[in-house]
Amino acid sequence: MSTSRPAGVWLIGARGSVATTVVAGCAAMSAGLHPPTGLLTETTLFADCGLPGLSSLVFGGHDTLDCPLPKRAEELAAGGVLPHGLPAAVAAELTAADAEIVPGGPLPHDDRDEEELIEAFASDIRDFTARRAPAGTVVVNVASTEPAADGDTLPPSSLYAAAALRAGCPYVNFTPSTGLHHPSLAAPLARSGLPYAGRDGKTGQTLLRSVLGPMFTQRALAVRAWSGTNLLGGGDGAALADPAAAAAKNAGKERVLTDTLGTPVQGEVHIDDVPALGDWKTAWDHIAFDGFLGTRMVLQTIWQGCDSALAAPLVLDLARLMLRAREAGMSGAVGELGFYFKDPVGEGAAGLGEQYAALGDLAARLRVGEAR
Amino acid sequence: MSTSRPAGVWLIGARGSVATTVVAGCAAMSAGLHPPTGLLTETTLFADCGLPGLSSLVFGGHDTLDCPLPKRAEELAAGGVLPHGLPAAVAAELTAADAEIVPGGPLPHDDRDEEELIEAFASDIRDFTARRAPAGTVVVNVASTEPAADGDTLPPSSLYAAAALRAGCPYVNFTPSTGLHHPSLAAPLARSGLPYAGRDGKTGQTLLRSVLGPMFTQRALAVRAWSGTNLLGGGDGAALADPAAAAAKNAGKERVLTDTLGTPVQGEVHIDDVPALGDWKTAWDHIAFDGFLGTRMVLQTIWQGCDSALAAPLVLDLARLMLRAREAGMSGAVGELGFYFKDPVGEGAAGLGEQYAALGDLAARLRVGEAR
Amino acid sequence: MSTSRPAGVWLIGARGSVATTVVAGCAAMSAGLHPPTGLLTETTLFADCGLPGLSSLVFGGHDTLDCPLPKRAEELAAGGVLPHGLPAAVAAELTAADAEIVPGGPLPHDDRDEEELIEAFASDIRDFTARRAPAGTVVVNVASTEPAADGDTLPPSSLYAAAALRAGCPYVNFTPSTGLHHPSLAAPLARSGLPYAGRDGKTGQTLLRSVLGPMFTQRALAVRAWSGTNLLGGGDGAALADPAAAAAKNAGKERVLTDTLGTPVQGEVHIDDVPALGDWKTAWDHIAFDGFLGTRMVLQTIWQGCDSALAAPLVLDLARLMLRAREAGMSGAVGELGFYFKDPVGEGAAGLGEQYAALGDLAARLRVGEAR
Amino acid sequence: MSTSRPAGVWLIGARGSVATTVVAGCAAMSAGLHPPTGLLTETTLFADCGLPGLSSLVFGGHDTLDCPLPKRAEELAAGGVLPHGLPAAVAAELTAADAEIVPGGPLPHDDRDEEELIEAFASDIRDFTARRAPAGTVVVNVASTEPAADGDTLPPSSLYAAAALRAGCPYVNFTPSTGLHHPSLAAPLARSGLPYAGRDGKTGQTLLRSVLGPMFTQRALAVRAWSGTNLLGGGDGAALADPAAAAAKNAGKERVLTDTLGTPVQGEVHIDDVPALGDWKTAWDHIAFDGFLGTRMVLQTIWQGCDSALAAPLVLDLARLMLRAREAGMSGAVGELGFYFKDPVGEGAAGLGEQYAALGDLAARLRVGEAR
């Protein structure tokens, strides 16, 4: 891929914390204001893979809110999520992205049916691509988690996913929402020949679980119970206070444990909305395990991070890799991207080390694709 | 290897907590009283590798103390390290091992010179092997950490290591003590053609570090400081209260960080002797790292375990693997055993995942060896 | 009070972990096998207050289960709650108490009405007192937490409380269950002239909260959110997995925060049933607070204890104090005992320091009572 | 005291983090930009005590560095210690204080003797008081901890303390440095009739210990070991990396434990310099204690705070209280201020609750003093 021809990143939830951090951060790195901490696509792992350059990315998206991106960035800086001074330093890029964010849906009192909504969204994406992104566009869902889908109705995340297919764009589901996982999208997905990836970005507690789980297994230690509590504020905390949304989130966390430990274990996971914490998150895990002769031991972990800052570099990595994967002719579930997800699509290992190795395989495929 | 012909395990520090747990635990598993939690040599990883069976192992060793093994086992049970009832259930095996423990040295007022000590120790090992261990003997150092060696004098751990070479036994250094790493032993080691492994069993805090370090590296997160405190009682706590002994211990811990992170980081490691904790250990780690755009985040871990129970299955694994390695004709540093050590001899990765993969390579070599 | 005339302690839930620990521990201390750790009634605070001696206490009670007390004690010892060897050492006392435990109710298919049940229970207590406890009997509820009462029906805890009144016994509610707090018991309670105390023993997380809450208030630091998770197994964990029972429990925990901080704060409390932990409990608290100029700070606490061992000395203290209070002619809510409870009856401060001072006031009253 | 006549606060270490936070914070509260979080002198406890108003305080001091205060404030804002925007909002007050900071000493190549240095410092203070502080000046030592004094030579902290006496000013030692505690200052101190307070502000880990220690004692639980590690960067971290300075600091921490527990306990305290943490501090405490029948339990606490933000409100409280104490005619050690210190001068309890009560006694004395 020519690494300098503009490529589009279309964000579902484009005015949220993650999206704002993605846009501001990409601009900050392009301008040399910050090193690319957290981006694997800037490490030697993906050297010579023909990925689109950071400075070639252009942003747009859907959102149902209308707070301007520069204002959102100021709010994030006040909360310590973005460095002070950064919103001013990248004001031009924030304004440019803001101009490409269009209303999503369905809005209250929206009388468009599913087909009309999908077509409207697809049209938005096609228009953006035609004007701004000659190298193509990737669609990434970074909206708040929605409750589990119910019956035949397509939930909003699936409307957007369908629009991505129709607009011919690779699709990444960074949330546990339904997205492409709706039965009615199986056929159009297969026909599209597009690559896709997901679900649910692995940012904090589950990241840890994906390295600690294998540790216990590799040491033949018997985990008896794995319990966890997450405290978070921000929009995510409020969204996950909805038990249905939390259930969708937790399924991914538990899958990681079951897959790496080889068996289900006791223990619950709580997600608490604590508005006082803002965009910061604290996750406590308590792991009771048996050692030699049944000796009872305990490992506890406390992870204190900022979810937007953890998610943003992964989103940029995924956008670049999927743009390149599309160019290289890949289609279907990109299983090698399990490293990035709690509940990965496609085949692949659950331990982080093996998932990292799979990224190397992907890099090799992309290099070959380049050679074509 | 015939898996039932008696094979010897000669323990340096044979009356210590680790050795006592090894002997009692091996007997308990052989009798079917406990599952082999913590032993990789009982997992499918080493299936068909021809390892000596647990019930074929016979124990002996050197120690400078004279507390009978059954009594040590009762003390450990009182402290919760061994299950209650176990010392009585395996009294016969404890007594048998006790009968094979001979005085080590140098003792106070010992007027034997280095050569005499080495020869005496080698003779002890040869005698044990001739009487009890037709399939050969492995020597494992599980004595308390000794202060760093000083000048030309051979420290006790090196006297025992030299004796192992002279008796034709593979050698495992489960401690950070000097052992075979003395310049004067380089030539006899090379001549011996024996396999050896070490140093310093990776039981708790460093085990965690060897999975968390790679996680940060693989996620391109910038670790800024890694600090740790270990609280432990028992003999180990007292031994490590000696700053020289602690220095030897800490070197291994820091090597894991530097190797997995690719760069040295700020932060100290403390080892405190807290007699009230007995054989139980608590390790707190505080890891300050930078995420995207320099956002400051923190991971803390608290590990509460029993060192003897963590060490014993590793000792049994190593003993069995080295006995088989010797039989299969391997010689020199067995680098594939880095999984078990803080500061591994030979070449090898520092991350636990890759070290686990290396064990698979070793298993393959042992299977081939069997085929001969 | 003559400190040696036998006094009765009638336990509701007499075969549970707490009750078993109370009986075994009282015998162990009477025999001089263990120091009276955790008992304030053995400190100078209550010197010369005329409390019944530990060796003068005799035990009985109601339970709906029928596991013999010596067997329960063995189970607790196997789980590390009681010292190994203790069940055997106090077998006689356990057997004696076991003989005084009678079936409670209502049992399945019980066709006795409320009045019949109360009368039956009161008759059990009167009979025990007449035979065994010339110095009188105190009734203490240490049964599992029951769901909040519903409508006019008396829940079991209230049937037992009514029986205590009818038998003329002081009553202590060590649980959050309804007990005497049922509207229909207000009049008989007032008529009885008996002293009573409760509710819900303050054993772990709430104990901590009652010293940390005042710290923040006294330092004029602004607590913004106080979140907590409790992991526990045993019968208590299972009982509290019932949301209605947990709700009753949590009300007390939150009252402590509101009372000591002066205002409600954000944050939830979770109680998870983790059978693997047995009778051991881990409580994690996360307190987000603002310092000077709004600086955001965090305190986290992790409490690892054994609930039965935390509760038992408080139960013994309360039994002795209430027996003496009855003798000294006290009646109504004994507000000076707030030190022991999450949700104290009567007037009193919420901070532990002031509650400790109130115990001193009670000691003074009891000394005067003695002087009569 | 007229609460509006200007009163002086002379800070030793006037360009440090604590001093800068004091000056900026006082201005911010006076301007109504922030509520007085952390100040007891703004609570009802000290109502009607005639304390000098926050807006009446004027600042000056000694320092051996020369970084301008507005620049120091910007640095602190960049590190998250001061709110962004605050340095600009209170630039005038920072500049005014900056103009009253004069060089301290002894400087390198300083050839003044002790008497000359004391006289020079006293003259600086008198001059400031005459020009700016008609209601008098209090001297507060907030400089970095100095190593323990050696022999007869007066350490710098004692030179400043002597100067405070000579200038007729009450003195507060907010550090563990020697200050007035030098034998040669005993006589001039007694003659001065001035009130003084100290030593070593109780800001974080020790604050916690002063509430947790009494909790264990009041519950008759047996603490077996209390271990702790402090990680901190900033100037304080570097200063305390000097073992002699750390020793001075730790003595105060241990005194709190011994005083509240009634007996020395096992366990060490580490203070690590971790520059990556800047002005933020993390303190981990591990408390092993015995419950009923010797059951082993553990409490761990993790305190994450900003030392300057914890110290500044205490410094403002102490300055105001000591200015008023001087006016009210108090002299000698003000033992009622033990609430604020790790190692309080004068008589007083070690538990925080009793220390808080003592502040109430002081308030009563100050009200009486007002009435004169």
Contact C309 D291 (CB under 8 A): yes
Nearest CB to A276; choose among C274, C276, C288: C288
Lowest mean pLDDT among A75-84, A249-258, C177-186, D286-295: A249-258
- From the CA atom positions of chain B, what is the Rg in Å? 20
DSSP 8-state class, residue B55:
G
Contact C227 A224 (CB under 8 A): no
Q: d(Cα A114, Cα D96) in Å, to the nearest integer?
A: 66
**Residue D300's closest CA among A238, C208, C316?**
C208
Question: Using one digit for the tens of pLDDT, what is the confidence trace for D13-59?
Answer: 999 999 999 999 999 999 999 999 999 999 999 999 999 999 999 99
Question: Using one digit for the tens of pLDDT, what is the confidence trace for A205-219?
Answer: 889 999 999 999 999
The proportion of chain B whose per-residue pLDDT surpasses 90, expressed as a percent, equals 79
Contact B83 A293 (CB under 8 A): yes
Taken in order D120, D124, D130, D136, is the CA torsion positive or negative?
A: negative
Contact C304 D313 (CB under 8 A): no
Q: d(Cα C120, Cα C107) in Å, to the nearest integer?
A: 13
Question: Using one digit for the tens of pLDDT, what is the confidence trace for B115-130?
Answer: 999 999 999 999 999 9
Question: Using one digit for the tens of pLDDT, what is the confidence trace for D333-369?
Answer: 999 999 999 999 988 888 899 999 999 999 999 997 6
Question: Using one digit for the tens of pLDDT, what is the confidence trace for D220-232?
Answer: 999 999 999 999 9
Q: d(Cα D353, Cα D372) in Å, to the nearest integer?
A: 30
Structure tokens at D188: 């001039």
**Residue D320's closest CA among D39, D24, D16?**
D39
Mean pLDDT of D82-104: 96
Domain formed by A7-201+309-371, architecture: 3-Layer(aba) Sandwich (3.40)
CATH classification of A205-305, choosing from 3.10.20.600, 3.30.360.10, 3.40.50.10490, 3.40.50.850?
3.30.360.10
The residue of chain D nearest to residue A74, with distances taken between CA atoms, is: D84
- From the CA atom positions of chain D, what is the Rg in Å? 20
Instruction: Grade residue C371 by pLDDT with cuts at 50, 70 and 90.
Output: very low
- C309 contacts D292 by C-beta, under 8 angstroms: yes
The residue of chain C nearest to residue A229, with distances taken between CA atoms, is: C229
Instruction: Grade residue C204 by pLDDT with cuts at 50, 70 and 90.
Output: confident
Give this prediction's pTM.
0.94
Residue D371 has a pLDDT of 43
Buried b (16+ CB within 10 A) or exposed e, A50-87: bbbbbebbbbbbbbeeeeebbebbbbbbebbbbbeebb
Helix axes B205-218, B352-371, angle to 10 degrees: 110
**Same fold flag, A7-201+309-371 and A205-305:** no
What's the mean per-residue pLDDT of chain C?
93
Strand duo C332-333 + C195-198: pairing: parallel
Mean pLDDT of D298-309: 96
Residue B367 has a pLDDT of 93
Q: d(Cα D93, Cα D34) in Å, to the nearest integer?
A: 15
- C203 contacts D297 by C-beta, under 8 angstroms: no
Domain formed by C205-307, architecture: 2-Layer Sandwich (3.30)
> Distance, in angstroms, between B372 CA and closest chain C CA?
47
Q: d(Cα A324, Cα A313) in Å, to the nearest integer?
A: 17
Note the CATH number of domain D205-306: 3.30.360.10
Residue D159 has a pLDDT of 97
Residue D198 has pLDDT above 50, yes or no: yes
Residue B370 has a pLDDT of 55
The residue of chain B nearest to residue A353, with distances taken between CA atoms, is: B353
Angle at B110 between CA B109 and CA B111, to 5 degrees: 105
Pairwise pLDDT comparison (A283 vs B279), residue with the higher score: A283
Instruction: Grade residue B3 by pLDDT with cuts at 50, 70 and 90.
Output: low
Interface membership of A302 toward C (CB under 8 Å): yes
> Distance, in angstroms, between D94 CA and closest chain A CA?
22
- Neighbours, chain A (3 or more CB pairs < 8 A): B, C, D
Contact D227 B229 (CB under 8 A): yes
Which 3 state secondary structure label does DSSP give A182? coil
The residue of chain C nearest to residue A304, with distances taken between CA atoms, is: C298
Q: d(Cα D49, Cα D328) in Å, to the nearest integer?
A: 10
> What is the amino acid identity at position A106?
P
**Surface of A (67-86) touching B: CB under 8 A:** 80-83, 86
> Distance, in angstroms, between C294 CA and closest chain A CA?
12
- From the CA atom positions of chain A, what is the Rg in Å? 20
Structure tokens at B247: 């220095």
The residue of chain C nearest to residue D352, with distances taken between CA atoms, is: C215
Question: Using one digit for the tens of pLDDT, what is the confidence trace for C92-131?
Answer: 999 999 999 999 988 888 889 999 999 999 999 999 999 9
Q: How far apart are the first and last CA of chain D?
A: 11
Interface membership of A302 toward D (CB under 8 Å): yes
Contact D293 C300 (CB under 8 A): no
Question: Using one digit for the tens of pLDDT, what is the confidence trace for C337-367?
Answer: 999 999 999 888 888 999 999 999 999 999 9
**Residue A345's closest CA among A212, A180, A163?**
A180
Question: Using one digit for the tens of pLDDT, what is the confidence trace for D205-224?
Answer: 889 999 999 999 999 999 99
Nearest CB to B37; choose among A82, A207, A292: A292
Contact D231 B227 (CB under 8 A): yes
> Distance, in angstroms, between D269 CA and closest chain A CA?
22
- A90 contacts A37 by C-beta, under 8 angstroms: no
Question: Using one digit for the tens of pLDDT, what is the confidence trace for C147-175?
Answer: 877 778 899 999 999 999 999 999 999 99
What DSSP letter does each residue of C17-66 carry, written as one string? HHHHHHHHHHHHHHTTSS--TT-GGGSGGGTTS-PPPGGGEEEEEEES--
Residue B372 has pLDDT above 50, yes or no: no
- A331 contacts A369 by C-beta, under 8 angstroms: no
User: For residue B276, which residues of chain D lie inside 8 Å, CB to CB?
Assistant: 224-225, 266, 288
User: For residue D221, which residues of chain C lie inside 8 Å, CB to CB?
Assistant: 37-38
User: For residue C274, which residues of chain A lie inside 8 Å, CB to CB?
Assistant: 225, 227, 266-267, 288
- C-alpha to C-alpha distances, D50 to C158, D42, D193, D358, nearest whole angstrom: 55, 12, 21, 18
Instruction: Grade residue D152 by pLDDT with cuts at 50, 70 and 90.
Output: confident
Interface membership of C31 toward D (CB under 8 Å): no
Residue A371 has a pLDDT of 43
Mutate to test the interface with D, among C219, C308, C316, C356 (most CBs of D within 10 A): C219
Nearest CB to C310; choose among D25, D215, D291: D291
Sheet containing C222-232: give its strands across. Answer: C269-273, C222-232, C280-290, C296-306, D296-306, D280-290, D222-232, D269-273
Strand duo C222-232 + C269-273: pairing: parallel
Q: How many CB pairs under 8 A join B and C?
A: 6
Interface membership of A309 toward B (CB under 8 Å): yes
What's the mean per-residue pLDDT of chain B?
93
**Surface of D (178-197) touching C: CB under 8 A:** none
Q: Find how far residue A82's CA is from the centre of its chain.
A: 19
Angle at D174 between CA D171 and CA D176, to 5 degrees: 110
The residue of chain C nearest to residue A232, with distances taken between CA atoms, is: C267
- A12 contacts A158 by C-beta, under 8 angstroms: no
**Residue B80's closest CA among D134, D50, C79, C17?**
C79
Instruction: Grade residue D3 by pLDDT with cuts at 50, 70 and 90.
Output: low
Nearest CB to A277; choose among C268, C288, C302: C288
Query: Which run of H or E residues covers position A127?
Result: helix A114-132
**Residue A311's closest CA among A238, A216, A206, A193?**
A206
**Surface of C (79-138) touching D: CB under 8 A:** 80-83, 86
Q: d(Cα D365, Cα D363) in Å, to the nearest integer?
A: 5
Contact A305 B293 (CB under 8 A): no
Residue D369 has a pLDDT of 63
Q: d(Cα C70, Cα C73) in Å, to the nearest integer?
A: 5
User: For residue D298, which residues of chain B lie inside 8 Å, CB to CB?
Assistant: 282, 304
Interface membership of D30 toward B (CB under 8 Å): no
- What are the residues facing B304 on neighbouring strands? A298, B282
DSSP 8-state class, residue A204:
S
Question: Using one digit for the tens of pLDDT, what is the confidence trace for B59-98?
Answer: 999 999 989 999 999 999 988 899 989 999 999 999 999 9
Residues in chain A, total: 372
The residue of chain C nearest to residue D299, with distances taken between CA atoms, is: C303
Question: Using one digit for the tens of pLDDT, what is the confidence trace for A87-98?
Answer: 999 999 999 999
Residue D270 has a pLDDT of 94
SS (H, E, C) chain D: CCCCCCEEEEEECCCCHHHHHHHHHHHHHHCCCCCCCCCHHHCHHHCCCCCCCHHHEEEEEEECCCCCHHHHHHHHHHCCCCCCCHHHHCHHHHHHHHCCEEECCCCCCCCCCHHHHHHHHHHHHHHHHHHHCCCCEEEEECCCCCCCCCCCCCCHHHHHHHHHHHCCCCEEECCCCCCCCCHHHHHHHHHHCCEEEECCECCCHHHHHHHHHHHHHHCCCEEEEEEEEEEECHHHHHHHCCHHHHHHHHHHHHHHHHHHHCCCCECCEEEEECHHHCCEEEEEEEEEEECHHHCEEEEEEEEEEEHHHHHHHHHHHHHHHHHHHHHCCCCEECHHHHHHECCCCCCCCCCHHHHHHHHHHHHHHHHHHHHC
User: For residue D222, which residues of chain C lie inside 8 Å, CB to CB?
Assistant: 37
Contact D37 C301 (CB under 8 A): no
The domains of chain B are located at 7-201+309-371, 205-307
User: For residue D215, which residues of chain C lie inside 8 Å, CB to CB?
Assistant: 207-208, 211, 352
Contact A310 B298 (CB under 8 A): no
The residue of chain B nearest to residue C304, with distances taken between CA atoms, is: B304
Mean pLDDT of B310-326: 98
As a dihedral over the C-alpha atoms of residue B191, residue B193, residue B199, residue B203, rounded to 10 degrees, the angle is -170
The residue of chain A nearest to residue D78, with distances taken between CA atoms, is: A84
Residue B371 has pLDDT above 60, yes or no: no
Mean pLDDT of C198-206: 91
**Residue C228's closest CA among C259, C242, C214, C249?**
C249
Mutate to test the interface with B, among D227, D281, D287, D301 (most CBs of B within 10 A): D227
Question: Using one digit for the tens of pLDDT, what is the confidence trace for B135-179?
Answer: 999 999 999 988 877 778 899 999 999 999 999 999 999 999 999
Lowest mean pLDDT among A87-91, A111-115, D244-248, D263-267: D244-248
Question: Using one digit for the tens of pLDDT, what is the confidence trace for A8-61?
Answer: 999 999 999 999 999 999 999 999 999 999 999 999 999 999 999 999 999 999
Q: d(Cα D179, Cα D159) in Å, to the nearest integer?
A: 8
Q: Which are the contacts of D37, defined by CB distance < 8 A and separation ≥ 6?
A: C220, C221, C222, C290, C291, C292, C293, C294, D313
Pairwise pLDDT comparison (A279 vs B370), residue with the higher score: A279
Q: How far apart are the first and last CA of chain B?
A: 11
Question: Using one digit for the tens of pLDDT, what is the confidence trace for C22-79?
Answer: 999 999 999 999 999 999 999 999 999 999 999 999 999 999 998 999 999 999 998 8
Structure tokens at D96: 């005014």
Backbone angles phi, psi at B225, to 5 degrees: -155, 140
Q: d(Cα C140, Cα C175) in Å, to the nearest integer?
A: 9
> Distance, in angstroms, between C276 CA and closest chain A CA?
6
Q: d(Cα B47, Cα D35) in Å, to the nearest integer?
A: 68
**Surface of D (35-54) touching C: CB under 8 A:** 36-40, 42-43
Structure tokens at B123: 């003779």
